[in-house]
Structure 1
């Protein structure tokens, strides 16, 4: 048995939430190396995740389907055949390209499936994602439609699964999908430069969009994004806080519900951080705005990427201030209701009635029982930490 490290002895076991823990090394420093990317793209063992309207191609509800370059080459050819600079110089705004993203390499792959990096320091099986959505406005729409028909014919058991309703991926596949979905969604929804309004081009293997200086060989107007340091054409991540709030006497937890949720389904409170606001301040503000409860001490628990579309959920635990625990929903109409629940009622729900918004009622459910989010949600992990004592709060 491996010896415990200092942090484990000091703070206890760590938490790795669903959609985190990708098995891939992203190799971000090679995203502009088109020689390496070109080799990786066309390698026979390279695996491609396909997205259609952001839903992934899956072989089962719990397993992504992976295709090869030969399956999809008609749609993308080899975009890395020339350098990134050459692509920018020959950019033409009327010619569209599907979003292709280099996700990284699996270093645990067998040698015959692996590709060495240029310095031979790393080796692994390459993974890409490709958006095959046949957007009517895109110049490649008919090719994408043909590809979808070919895939359906060649792989009749594969389906594009609706991620929030009929997909229950294993942890590693979920983490890979989270990266692919977030980056794809950003590329699709940010086609124009935030600095000058010109059409942009996906570069850096899908992790950046550039505002080209030329369009069809004609020089375009100047843009600040082409000079100096800037961040206007990089993917966005929206930080949000999600918090389990404990009563001042340590016996109850505050949970809320939205009107659109199933009957009796409750969860922890959550909200987006605002500019110039710390995590702790955001927790206190959101709890007070949504429930009227005032929180004092706040500690950080863990985080979870949430690719719907691009949030980073920062999990926290807060403690209510004595005498300021009355619930008032008049500040913010977001919640239909909020309640303090005793630990024993929550423990029963954790054992019997956890599940997603679209899941059927679990076996053993009785009308009126509290329902809680599934283990794949950070809300569940926060509730467990507080109610079951799975994290030693005094040591955090």
Structure 2
């Protein structure tokens, strides 16, 4: 698919400088450089300033004592970029909307400027440049992995961040653990002039999307597409082809966008998996995108589902 990397989080050519990660002296040097900038994340929410990522110099007081847990993201020219988990900070109030689908709350730290807020990435991701989006997705995914893998899976001892943040090492048994990405297939399933859409329980009113599911161990991508669609809707799928991918740091998935051709149209949903599924014609989908459909809300900007459907409507899947 010629337009594959135009999707949000699709990549910007960031120099990740992986050759520096294992060089502790080099990491120390670039951390202390005047051009180095650090991204803070609180409970997975990046620090924003006026709709863009907010970056701090490494000498900022809120970063005191946090170098050991910093993740080296890469280089922009000669300038290093790091990310630091700030989740141990406790705001005065914790809103009920935390961890909801599109958390509208924003948190302000007293030692940061008034326009600096921790905000949900899913809500603001379309405001970011391609470079900022790649940096934010990388930081959110790897810091989330460190939070959920704080202990060695071999012996249970507390692990330590190592290799520039790209490894977890156990000081007790010497085990090394590396960040993982979960592959998820998301499927543009078509039959003639229609595309298959589904809805999960608990989604906002009117929200429908393409079907999706995790790839199981030992399972090819194409087989995962056929299995997930059949399990969720009872629709058999024949030919499957790959279209595009999207890193999706919620918390650490890689969405594999696929195109599948349905062999039938009868739908029998699995109510454990989804709440509803339906076929949507091109004409209806145009009304959806225009916000004029009676049942389905327009798909969210930034999601690969919208990207794939929009390219289907425009006949740009080649």
Residue aligning to 1:277: 219
Residue aligning to 2:303: 377
Q: Distance in 1 between matches of 2:121 and 2:70?
A: 20
Alignment of 1:134-283 (within 5 A): 134=88, 152-165=110-123, 168-170=126-128, 171-213=130-172, 222=173, 225=175, 233-247=177-191, 250-283=192-225
Residue aligning to 2:266: 326
**1:152 aligns to what SS in structure 2?**
coil
Are 1:52 and 2:42 an aligned pair? yes
Are 1:41 and 2:11 an aligned pair? no
Deviates more, 1:28-37 or 1:368-377: 368-377
Counterpart pick for 2:281 among 342, 347, 369: 342
Residue aligning to 2:104: none
**2:143 aligns to what SS in structure 1?**
helix
Residue aligning to 2:82: 128
- Between the two proteins, the alignment pairs up a number of residues equal to 301
**Alpha carbons of 1:43 and 1:155: their partners in 2 closer, same or farther (altered >3 Å)?**
same
Q: Distance in 1 between matches of 2:242 and 2:25?
A: 42
Contact 1:16 1:302 (C-alpha < 8 Å) held by counterparts: no
**2:83 aligns to what SS in structure 1?**
strand
Q: Tell me how large the CA RMSD over aligned residues is.
A: 2.2
Q: Distance in 1 between matches of 2:120 and 2:3?
A: 33
Residue aligning to 2:22: 32
CA deviations 1:149-201 (Å, max 9, x no partner) are: 99534412211112234564313212211000111111111111111111111
CA deviations 1:4-48 (Å, max 9, x no partner) are: xxxxxxx64443321221452111121011222112101111111
Contact 2:216 2:224 (C-alpha < 8 Å) held by counterparts: yes
- CA deviation after TM superposition for structure 1 residue 301, in Å: 0.3
CA deviations 1:116-146 (Å, max 9, x no partner) are: xxxxxxxx2110011122268xxxxxxxxxx
**Alpha carbons of 1:74 and 1:245: their partners in 2 closer, same or farther (altered >3 Å)?**
closer
Please state which structure has a larger fraction of its residues in strand.
Answer: 2
- CA deviation after TM superposition for structure 1 residue 76, in Å: 2.4
**1:129 aligns to what SS in structure 2?**
strand
Larger Rg: 1
**Alpha carbons of 1:127 and 1:206: their partners in 2 closer, same or farther (altered >3 Å)?**
same
**Alpha carbons of 1:78 and 1:273: their partners in 2 closer, same or farther (altered >3 Å)?**
closer
Are 1:307 and 2:241 an aligned pair? no
Residue aligning to 1:87: none
Q: Distance in 2 between matches of 1:59 and 1:134?
A: 21
Contact 2:189 2:261 (C-alpha < 8 Å) held by counterparts: yes
CA deviations 1:308-361 (Å, max 9, x no partner) are: 10000000000011xx3210014x5221110111111112222x23xxxxxxxx
Could you state the TM-score of these two structures normalised by the residue count of structure 2? 0.88
**Alpha carbons of 1:72 and 1:241: their partners in 2 closer, same or farther (altered >3 Å)?**
farther
Q: Distance in 2 between matches of 1:15 and 1:391?
A: 13
CA deviations 1:62-100 (Å, max 9, x no partner) are: 301011011047522654xxxxxxxxxxxxxxxxxxx31
Deviates more, 1:235-244 or 1:162-171: 162-171
